[in-house]
Structure 1
């Protein structure tokens, strides 16, 4: 066929190809325009204020995938479109990186801000404060009682192995993991402090330092006093004197389950147990609580003092003494303060009872004739508790005293002389203090000084 007869079909094909290309181009432009419109709309929806009318909290459980997280947020009203949230998470490479936790979202929070908070793990930080001086059993009880934590605690840690602090956590954190953090914090701090210790202190191991720190912790709640209280115990240990600290007796009785619901008695003091430092030499076998940072620091770096005694001063703190004679005078001053405080308390109780009686009388007068004849037992003062002679409560001012602190004024004043006289039995009277007596007769003086105990009153501590 002649060549000129083939041209028209080729032109038609070229025209068809150009037409198809133009159509495809038009579709591409339309697709791009549509995609751009969808993207811009999605971006606008993603960044616009969300549906929350007020601040809300949403808990994202562990193990949830991105799709389930999106549904959880939509169900909680934090976002308006779970599908758009999921697409955005994939597009921004945040899918699989959203973290579990308890999140707080403000009113009108956008999906973008919600996703950003989950991706960065900005969950609500909760905190649990463990006061100094709690036993391990008490700490475990507090951790178990925290409802935002999960899981079980295997066993109660050894006494003195946990560091009282404020610990931050998130909802859903494991209880055992928090206990492990407390133990690790204790170990780290103890290692650091022991390496910085005063090498002249009489404790030989970090474990012994913790035991003594737990006693210091229970003896005073005033941070400034701890180095001096620690020094008193160090000085007594160096002289071979018994510590005579009543918190150790209490621990021996309660086993670390908590404080006693009664005062210590003479029989408590006389009973020889592993923890009764009135009856044993040196330190008890284990700590009696979990000491805090300040108490540990006080033990490894005690104050520079020769004090051997301390007693409450009536202001919430203590007054310290180097000699037995000085200590006796301080005890006498505290006895007077204690007596005044008791009289004030008795007056307050009497006034309260009188007011209650008057209120009860008014109520009875306003009642019917039959009701008025009914005896109002609630106006009567409660009966005093009585104890056997060997179980009389020990006075606050001096734990070795035999007469209860609640007894009459004359008897109490007389007990000061009686107790102090008995305390100095066996010591040279001319010496006038434990230090001189120690020089005159080392072992006798040590036991004599130790027989005048460190009195019991402490500043108020957190409820345990």
Structure 2
């Protein structure tokens, strides 16, 4: 009898071992298998959360199928203690293994809310953007200028430790405009009075954190512009119309202010290169405007004939060659165009009504282009007058 009992017990033990082994294999397969999420989600991991609470949240959101397997997988991979707080994008079909990796790898949050401080030529704007997990694209949920009331959503998210912040500087903004804007951002500390040299700050996007000093942001911008210039200077054309990096920045800033059409930059640069080579004055309006404003305001009107004749160091209708300094901070593409202009015979250009320009090799051709532009201006003025409301 005892032998029979022992035999049955041994059989039962073997069966249980096989069942346990099968359960482990099944659990491993479930851990790495495609998850139940039909659409991506933005997973918020609050500070102080542990794997037990997170596993429950993931089950509630339909992201995983088993709390126990999720926690055992985290334990087995030694990642239970590596859980990070933040906002994380969990893609559709993510396995439990992939979710564990997402919430433990560290680094910046991969979804959620970001605040962008945009420094433009004509205005400074604060924009709140939130990621739509389904499309993996950001959507604007609030924005305001310095002259407008602060958006309520901005006040809410700026206090959230998971919100990301960055400063986005547009091409063609002056150094004074950048400093003035940075000093106005409540997120930054220690305003500065000294304005960096014109052209020395790279238009780009810069990650910042609450409490960052204005000087630190300016240092990043200056370092990036130096890196860009060193790289592009080394790759410049043998026939580049400038002999120094300083002159390259000056010419690039003029190109930047003259056209907003990317495909035109090298053509515009070629016009100025040809004029410099032929000893002609550059005669470009943006330099005249800089002589009036010194980059500290937007002129907001057309130039007067008296201003075109006025003697300032930047008035290229009066001076020969390049002005003494850049007239704005040029972007990478304009610097590249100044150092590698197209090979053309153009020495004139004028607006063509499409946002671009009509180029010409001769004065007669240029005068025809100017006449056509005047017609377009007159047509637009007449259309605006026709659409204007009638006063009683």
TM range (shorter): 0.5 to 0.7
- Verify: 1:380 aligned to 2:391, yes or no: yes
Structure 1 counterpart of 2:377, from 335, 342, 358: 342
How far apart in 2 are the matches of 1:297 and 1:251? Answer: 22
Measure, in 1, the Cα distance between the counterparts of 2:386 and 2:176. Answer: 40
Which residue matches 1:407?
A: none
Alpha-carbon distance between aligned partners in 1 of 2:288 and 2:68, rounded to the nearest angstrom: 66
Structure 1 residue 209: deviation in Å?
A: 0.5
Deviation of the 1:52 alpha carbon = 6.6
User: What TM-score results when the alignment is normalised by the length of structure 1?
Assistant: 0.52
Residues 246 and 350 (structure 1), Cα distance of their counterparts in 2 relative to 1, 3 Å cut: closer
In structure 2, the partner of 1:390 is none
Deviations 1:23-81 (A, max 9, x none): xx99x9999899869967875885688787864213458xx67x557746755746688
Identify, as 1 or 2, the structure richer in strand: 2
Equivalents in 2 of 1:213, 1:186: separation in Å? 12
CA deviation after TM superposition for structure 1 residue 182, in Å: 5.3
Give the structure, 1 or 2, with the largest relative contact order (CA under 8 Å, sep 6 or more). Answer: 1
User: Is the 8 Å Cα contact of residues 212 and 287 (structure 1) preserved in structure 2?
Assistant: yes
Provide the residue aligned with 1:123 in structure 2: 110
Structure 2 distance, partners of 1:216, 1:349, is: 30
Tell whether the 8 Å contact from 2:84 to 2:103 is kept in structure 1 after alignment: yes
Counterparts in 2 of 1:262 and 1:255: CA distance versus 1, 3 Å: same
2:342 and 2:36 map into 1 onto residues whose CA distance is: 62
Indicate conservation of the 8 Å contact 1:202/1:234, yes or no.
yes
Equivalent pair of 1:60/1:69 in contact (CA under 8 Å): no
Give how far 1:213 is off. Answer: 0.6
Contact 1:60/1:72, CA 8 A, preserved across alignment = yes
- Choose 1 or 2 for highest CA Rg: 1
1:114 shift after superposition: 1.3
CA distance 1:236–1:107, shift in 2 (3 Å):
closer
Q: What are the Cα deviations for residues 83-118 of structure 1, in whole angstroms up to 9, with x where unaligned? A: 875653342033455566542224675533311233
**Partner of 2:286 in structure 1?**
247
Change (3 A) 1:350 1:250: closer
Q: Are residues 1:234 and 2:234 paired?
A: no
What corresponds to 2:132 in structure 1?
none
- The answer to whether the 8 A contact 2:44-2:88 is kept is yes
2:357 is matched with which residue: 295, 312, 317? 317
Number of residue pairs matched by the alignment: 327
In proportion to residue count, which structure has more helix? 1
The separation in 2 between residues aligned to 1:178 and 1:32, in whole angstroms, is 63
> 1:297 Cα deviation (Å)?
2.2
Q: Report the TM-score, using the length of structure 2 for normalisation.
A: 0.60
Distance 2:51 2:269 in 1: 55
SS of corresponding position for 2:242: coil
Go from structure 1 to structure 2 and tell me whether the alpha carbon gap of 1:314 and 1:88 turns closer, same or farther (over 3 Å shift).
closer
Q: What is the match of residue 283 of structure 1?
A: 322
Q: 1:350–1:256: structure 2 CA closer, same or farther, 3 Å change rule?
A: closer
Q: Distance in 2 between matches of 1:276 and 1:30?
A: 94
Contact residue 45 and residue 54 of structure 2 kept, 8 A:
yes
What residue ranges of structure 1 are gaps of 5+ in the alignment? Answer: 1-24, 357-378, 382-464
RMSD over equivalenced CA pairs, Å: 5.2
Aligned to 2:387: 352
